[in-house]
């Protein structure tokens, strides 16, 4: 049973350049979705539309069968989705525990400790943490919100390989063990490899590249693994 | 985490920005409070001046509209005189501080021993006003005479007499001394018992003939006297119209209101205004009013300029501050916090600063208002910052502050969260 449903969604910048053309997709809880695509193809825009940060030019987005435009975008952002951004987007005058408390009434410390932050680090100013630690705080904020859908925009984009893998593991765990619907926009093949479903956004259209059964990692298609020059030749 | 806690945490942790706005608000509020105190002192001074300029109007018989008759070797106007009822009616009009009307004659006074009270003139007669209320007699109002002992003659006094200190000393008289007044002792004019109730001193420059002598009488001011109107009427009982009132002076509480008071007086229907002339006496006020209004305009303009410049400055600083928090606004909206809650947080932060800055400004303005007031020619002790000033500034300042935050937030709040965040990337 899908929790998010995207129907014929279209979007254009300034009513001129059409970046999304009748996009359709369904997303379920307990799965990790990856959206791939070249820069500027509209991946982040699609994620923003799913998360209610913007409204589509045409089409509808449903959460649990209800049109989010009708139930209210602010309400959708507050109750249904949680964001993880590439730039972390933490409030800089709050500590990690306070950032997590922005969206949740749960005690923040256990979540932060589970994501690898010590008690002392959890009380520091967020700007005094490393990139990886800041991203963990952002993930903790998303998880603590208890929203069933987590939307992550390039969550490993600014991180080194080891930290990126840690974050990927956390996202996978969020989907598979915490029954969240995790949607990740990424350029990272490593991350995409570990997704349950991989979408590719191209020329404004969304295609399902691979469907992985039971969360098991599968090799990605050769087209996506091929070098850039080779891809251009296709 | 609710917006109140966020507002407190922001104010505490971004303390440099908080301090900047705090000191700005403190300075502005102190200046505005001081300005209001100076404006009030100015208004008070102006009111005081308007009250002490001796601005009055005179009601007198209009001889040109009355008839004439002859007798006793001359001709006399048959125009009606000013009655006591007329005086009472005019005096009851709002804005009239007091009035005086008098009958003038040149009676003689005698001590209890029977000796004449002597003067420095050719005869021992005194130039005497039979007055209703000497406090409002032009000689006292203008400051040429000053009552130095006893009291003024009032409406309820029937036999009071006021003489100069020089004549009192010369004749061994003092307040409480009994005298007898006779208008003309060489006729059968009645003797009227009187009591000295006051002593006046001539303040006018004795070397200045223009002020020392009454131009019309050429009498030495020290030979002037004032008696109760009732006593004068009794002394002049043999003189027909000679003991009736020809004119009366009414003094107003506020010189600026003279015209409206005169208009109200002239609308009294029971008086036939065809028979009387009303003349305004406001030369002194006219002379000072332009400089008064110039100073008032200057103070008012300064307050308006200070307030306006300050508000522009505050709006600019708050606007810059909120623009610099665009990213935070985007994040808060993205995590599901509603726009009104975000704006309310910013409003609350400003009000938290104001809650501390306004009372401190009240205290500091009490210290600096006097000093600033001296720059405008005010005595420091007259420039007082009152709780009413504080309430006014706190309420209006609070409203303006909220408005400034709202205006500063408009541009950011009109954007969608995605637009705000993408501008930050």
**What gap in Å lies between CA A188 and CA A83, rounded to an integer?**
18
- In this structure, are residues B198 and B139 in contact, taking their beta carbons and an 8 Å threshold? no
B327: closest chain A residue by CA: A89
Cα gap A163→B386, rounded to integer Å: 64
User: Does B86 share its domain with B175?
Assistant: yes
Q: What is the percent of chain B with per-residue pLDDT over 70, rounded to a whole number?
A: 94
| Other CB atoms within 10 A of residue A5 CB | 17
Q: Which residues of A touch B340 (CB under 8 A)?
A: none
Q: Domain range for residue B401?
A: 3-48+289-424
pLDDT at residue B412, as a whole number: 80
pLDDT tens for residues A93-133?
A: 999 999 999 888 888 898 888 888 899 999 999 899 988 88
pLDDT of residue A183: 95
- Mean of all residue pLDDT scores within chain B: 87
Question: Between chains, do B336 and A79 touch, taking CB under 8 Å as contact?
Answer: yes
Q: What is the pLDDT of residue A209?
A: 81
- Distance from the Cα of residue A6 to its chain's centroid: 15
Which chain B residues are Cβ-neighbours of A55 within 8 angstroms?
416
Q: Could you report the per-residue pLDDT of B260-282, keeping only the tens digit for each?
A: 999 999 999 999 999 999 999 88
Q: Is the dihedral of CA B187, B189, B190, B192 positive or negative?
A: negative
Asked if A74's CB is within 8 angstroms of B339's CB, the reply is yes
**Residues forming beta bridges with residue B58, ordered by sequence position:** B249, B279
- The larger pLDDT score, comparing residue A61 to residue B53, is at A61
Closest residue in chain A to residue B339, using alpha carbons only = A74
What DSSP letter does each residue of B9-76 carry, written as one string?
A: HHHHHTHHHHHHHHHHHHHHHHHHHHHHHHHHHHHHHHHHHHHHS--EEEEEE-TTTS-EEEETTEEE
Q: Do A90 and B418 touch (CB under 8 A)?
A: no
CB B58 within 8 A of CB B279: yes
> pLDDT value at position B246?
86
User: What token pair was written down for A32?
Assistant: 């990790």
| Interchain proximity B416–A98, CB inside 8 Å | no
Boundary (domain end) residue, out of B255, B281, B307: B281
Q: What is the pLDDT of residue B217?
A: 56
Q: Is B111 on the interface with A (CB under 8 A)?
A: no
Band (pLDDT 50/70/90 cuts) for residue B380 is confident
One domain for residues B91 and B233: yes
Segment B180-199, tens digit of pLDDT? 999 999 998 999 999 999 99
Express each pLDDT in A35-50 by its tens digit: 998 888 889 899 999 9
The last residue of a domain, from among B243, B264, B281: B281
Closest CB from A48, A54, A103 relative to B336: A103
Which among A83, A91, A101 has CB closest to B328?
A91
Answer yes or no: do A83 and B327 touch at CB < 8 A.
no
Same domain flag for B316 and B268: no
Backbone region of residue B186 per phi and psi (left: phi > 0; alpha: psi in -120 to 50; beta: other values): alpha
pLDDT band at B125 (very low <50, low <70, confident <90, very high): very high
Separation between Cα atoms, residue B308 and residue B301, nearest integer Å = 10
Contacts of A66 (CB under 8 A, 6+ apart): none
Per-residue pLDDT at B30: 92
Residues B74 and B200 in one domain: yes
**Residues B124 and B41 reside in one and the same domain:** no
Average pLDDT over residues B399-404: 88
Tracing tokens 């998880």 back to the chain, one arrives at A143
Tell me the C-alpha distance between B318 and B324, whole Å: 10
pLDDT band at B121 (very low <50, low <70, confident <90, very high): confident
Report the percentage of chain A scoring pLDDT > 70.
89
The answer to whether residues B186 and B277 belong to one domain is yes
Do B417 and A54 make contact, defined as CB atoms within 8 angstroms? yes
B227 — pLDDT class (breaks 50, 70, 90)? very high
Full-model pTM:
0.64
Pairing of β B192-202 and β B160-164: parallel
Same domain, B395 and B277: no
B101 and B201 in a common domain: yes
Are B241 and B100 part of one and the same domain?
yes
For residues B74 and B210, membership in a common domain is answered with: yes
Q: Please tell me which residue, B111 or A19, carries the higher pLDDT value.
A: B111
Chain B residues lying within 8 Å of A102, measured CB to CB: 1, 332, 335, 337
Predicted confidence at residue B363, as pLDDT, reads: 94
DSSP code of residue A216: -
Tell the burial category of B138 from Cβ atoms under 10 Å away from its Cβ (0-12, 13-18, 19+): middle
Residue that is last in its domain, among B233, B256, B281? B281
The answer on B346 and B217 residing in a single domain is no
Contact B417 A101 (CB under 8 A): no
Report residue A191's pLDDT band, with 50, 70 and 90 as the boundaries.
confident
Q: Can you give the pLDDT at residue B183?
A: 93
Q: How far apart are CA A187 and CA A190, in angstroms?
A: 9
B 68-107: CB under 8 A from A: none
Q: Are residues B60 and B197 in the same domain?
A: yes
What is the number of alpha carbons within 13 Å of residue B236 lying toward its C-beta?
Answer: 23
Tell me whether A229 touches chain B (CB under 8 Å). no
Instruction: Give pLDDT, residue A215.
Output: 44
């Amino acid at each position: 049973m899908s929790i998010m449903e995207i129907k014929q969604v279209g979007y254009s910048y300034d009513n001129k350049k059409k970046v999304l053309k009748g996009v359709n997709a369904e997303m379920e809880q307990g799965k990790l979705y990856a959206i791939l695509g070249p820069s500027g193809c509209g991946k982040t825009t699609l994620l923003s539309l799913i998360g209610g940060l913007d409204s589509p030019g045409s089409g509808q987005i449903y959460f649990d069968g209800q049109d989010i435009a009708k139930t209210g975008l602010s309400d959708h952002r507050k109750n249904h989705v949680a964001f993880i951004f590439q730039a972390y987007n933490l409030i800089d005058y709050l500590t990690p525990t306070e950032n997590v408390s922005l969206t949740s009434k749960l005690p923040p410390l256990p979540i932060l400790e589970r994501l690898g932050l010590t008690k002392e680090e959890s009380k520091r100013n967020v700007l005094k943490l490393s990139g990886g630690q800041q991203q963990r705080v952002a993930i903790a904020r998303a998880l603590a919100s208890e929203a069933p859908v987590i939307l992550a925009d390039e969550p490993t984009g600014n991180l080194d390989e080891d930290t990126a893998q840690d974050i990927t593991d956390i996202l996978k765990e969020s989907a598979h063990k915490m029954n969240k619907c995790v949607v990740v926009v990424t350029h990272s093949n490593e991350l995409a490899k570990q997704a349950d479903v991989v979408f590719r956004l191209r020329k404004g259209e969304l295609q399902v590249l691979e469907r992985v059964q039971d969360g098991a990692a599968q090799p990605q298609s050769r087209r996506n693994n091929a070098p850039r020059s080779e891809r251009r030749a296709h | 985490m609710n917006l109140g806690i966020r507002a407190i945490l922001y104010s505490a942790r971004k303390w440099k920005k908080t301090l900047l706005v705090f000191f700005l608000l403190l300075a502005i509020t102190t200046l505005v409070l001081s300005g209001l105190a100076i404006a009030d002192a100015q208004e008070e001074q102006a009111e005081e001046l308007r009250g002490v300029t001796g601005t009055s109007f005179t009601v007198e018989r209009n001889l040109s509209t009355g008839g004439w008759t002859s007798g006793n070797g001359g001709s006399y106007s048959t125009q009606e005189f000013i009655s006591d009822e007329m005086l009472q009616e005019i005096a009851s009009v709002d804005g009239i501080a007091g009035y005086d009307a008098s009958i003038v004659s040149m009676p003689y006074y005698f001590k209890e021993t029977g000796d004449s009270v002597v003067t420095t003139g050719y005869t021992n007669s005194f130039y005497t006003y039979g007055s209703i209320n000497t406090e409002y007699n032009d000689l006292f109002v203008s400051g040429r005479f000053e009552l130095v002992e006893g009291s003024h003659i009032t409406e309820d006094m029937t036999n009071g007499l006021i003489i100069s200190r020089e004549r009192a000393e010369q004749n061994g008289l003092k307040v409480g001394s009994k005298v007898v007044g006779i208008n003309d002792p060489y006729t059968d004019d009645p003797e009227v018992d009187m009591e000295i109730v006051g002593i006046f001193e001539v303040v006018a420059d004795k070397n200045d003939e223009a002020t020392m002598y009454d131009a019309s009488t050429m009498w030495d001011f020290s030979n002037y006297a004032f008696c109760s109107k009732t006593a004068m009427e009794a002394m002049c009982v043999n003189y027909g119209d000679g003991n009736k009132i020809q004119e009366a002076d009414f003094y107003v509480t506020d010189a600026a209101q003279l015209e409206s008071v005169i208009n109200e007086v002239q609308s009294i229907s029971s008086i036939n205004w065809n028979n009387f002339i009303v003349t305004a006496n406001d030369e002194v006020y006219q002379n000072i009013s332009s400089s008064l209004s110039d100073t008032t305009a200057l103070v008012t303009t300064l307050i308006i300029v200070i307030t306006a410049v300050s508000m522009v400055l505050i709006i600019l600083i708050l606007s810059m501050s909120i623009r610099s928090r665009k990213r935070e606004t985007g994040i808060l909206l993205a995590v599901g916090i509603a726009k009104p809650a975000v704006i309310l947080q910013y409003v609350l932060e400003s009000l938290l600063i104001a809650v501390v800055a306004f009372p401190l400004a009240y205290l500091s303005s009490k210290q600096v208002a006097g000093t600033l007031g001296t720059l405008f020619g005010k005595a420091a002790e007259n420039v007082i910052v009152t709780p009413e000033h504080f309430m006014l500034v706190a309420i209006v300042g609070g409203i303006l502050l909220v408005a400034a935050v709202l205006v500063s937030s408009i541009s950011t709040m009109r954007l969608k969260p995605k637009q705000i965040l993408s501008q930050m990337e």
